[in-house]
């Protein structure tokens, strides 16, 4: 029978089983330490928690283990936690254990751009935002993921976006993010040859066709023409080729060359 001292408790080794962990406040199956006098039990993972952890690629300062008697609000995700927490004394933040290595940048498959984790959002332009996944309000003074592209107000809860690992990719460095951003912005229109007074491209060179394409506002002949991009009927605002029967909706012609689909 091994013994381990945790705080003021002297707790003895217990065999495997399903018990209630007093630190996690949940039932777990596995190896437990426990005190038979006061019925205090903790699982092996909690008993062996490191007092100081550091992930420089995720957070610039070390986190220190902090045992709490009451609940707290995690600055990383904005939800409540109990007992086990880690604090960064430099940033004055307190987080759940699972978020001490929270990825700073991720590419979520349901959004065109990379999204960044922030412990709070600037409120000069934003007053209220709903999570684009669960559609519930995101507290701007608490942690969330958001898009940094100008004019894009995409914001999601941390727990919502990280719920399914298959739907996001962790971006470890800024260069990788910049490369993805450049690809997502790469236009299918290789060159704009002519524009009208409104600034619309009236003659273009498109990567999908060998000849130049000209903008038209409606189909003059009563023939059911199909878009060579999406294969749907063309009614108004499209590009066509003067040399061969090639047609593209204006919206199809303006699509980016590379677009990540949410179902990958």
The answer to whether 93 and 76 have CB atoms below 8 angstroms apart is: yes
Domain membership flag for residue 211: yes
Q: How far apart are CA 115 and CA 181, in angstroms?
A: 11
Q: How far apart are CA 224 and CA 137, in angstroms?
A: 46
How many Cβ atoms sit within 10 Å of the Cβ of residue 213?
Answer: 25
Q: How far apart are CA 126 and CA 242, in angstroms?
A: 48
Average pLDDT, the chain: 81
Same domain, 85 and 147: no
Segment 160-192, tens digit of pLDDT = 999 988 899 888 776 666 666 666 666 788 888
Domain membership flag for residue 136: yes
Q: How far apart are CA 175 and CA 221, in angstroms?
A: 50
Domain membership flag for residue 258: no
How many Cβ atoms sit within 10 Å of the Cβ of residue 133?
Answer: 18
pTM of the model: 0.62
- What's the CATH code of the domain at 143? 3.30.60.20
Quick one: pLDDT at residue 184?
62
Same domain, 110 and 180: yes
The answer to whether 88 and 80 have CB atoms below 8 angstroms apart is: no
Helix (H, G, I), strand (E, B) or coil at 229: coil
Domain membership flag for residue 25: yes
* Number of domains making up the chain: 4
Quick one: pLDDT at residue 222?
72
Cα→Cα distances 65→17, 40, 52, 91, 195, Å: 26, 20, 6, 15, 62
Same domain, 142 and 172: yes
Quick one: pLDDT at residue 2?
46
- What's the CATH code of the domain at 68? 3.30.60
What domain range includes position 157? 105-184
Residue 42's pLDDT band, with cuts at 50, 70 and 90, is confident
Mean pLDDT of 87-97: 90
Mean pLDDT of 243-260: 84
The answer to whether 83 and 111 have CB atoms below 8 angstroms apart is: no
Mean pLDDT of 106-133: 83
Same domain, 171 and 119: yes
Domain membership flag for residue 15: yes
Domain membership flag for residue 262: no
Domain membership flag for residue 150: yes
Quick one: pLDDT at residue 262?
46
Nearest CA-CA partner of 28 in 39, 38, 16, 40: 16
Tokens of 150: 């100008």
Task: Name the residue with higher pLDDT: 23 or 252.
Answer: 252
Domain membership flag for residue 90: yes
Same domain, 124 and 164: yes
Task: Name the residue with higher pLDDT: 89 or 82.
Answer: 89
Quick one: pLDDT at residue 43?
80
Task: Name the residue with higher pLDDT: 71 or 179.
Answer: 71
* In the predicted structure, residue 261 carries a pLDDT above the cut 70: no
- Over pLDDT 70: what percentage of the chain? 82
Same domain, 198 and 213: yes
How many Cβ atoms sit within 10 Å of the Cβ of residue 218?
Answer: 9
Residue 264's pLDDT band, with cuts at 50, 70 and 90, is very low
């Amino acid at each position: 029978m091994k013994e381990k001292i945790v705080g003021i408790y002297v707790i003895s080794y217990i065999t495997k089983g399903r018990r209630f962990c007093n630190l996690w406040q949940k039932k777990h199956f596995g190896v437990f330490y426990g005190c038979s006098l006061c019925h205090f039990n903790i699982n092996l993972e909690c008993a062996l928690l490191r007092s100081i952890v550091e992930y420089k690629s995720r957070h610039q300062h070390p986190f220190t283990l902090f045992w709490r008697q009451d609940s707290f609000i995690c600055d990383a995700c904005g939800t409540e936690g109990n007992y086990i927490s880690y604090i960064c004394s430099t940033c004055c933040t307190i987080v759940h254990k699972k978020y001490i290595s929270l990825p700073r940048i991720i590419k979520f498959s349901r959004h065109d751009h990379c999204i960044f984790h922030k412990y709070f959002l600037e409120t000069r332009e934003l007053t209220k935002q709903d999570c684009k996944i669960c559609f519930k309000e995101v507290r701007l003074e608490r942690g969330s993921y958001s898009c940094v592209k100008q004019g894009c107000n995409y914001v999601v809860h941390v727990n919502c976006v990280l719920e399914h690992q298959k739907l996001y990719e962790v971006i470890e460095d800024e260069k990788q993010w910049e490369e993805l951003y450049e690809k997502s912005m790469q236009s299918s229109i290789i060159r704009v040859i002519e524009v009208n007074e409104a600034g619309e491209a009236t003659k273009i060179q498109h990567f999908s066709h060998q000849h130049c394409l000209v903008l038209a506002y409606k189909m003059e002949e009563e023939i059911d023409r199909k878009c060579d991009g999406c294969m749907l009927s063309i009614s108004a605002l499209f590009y066509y080729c003067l040399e061969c029967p090639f047609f593209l909706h204006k919206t199809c012609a303006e699509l980016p060359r590379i677009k990540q689909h949410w179902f990958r």
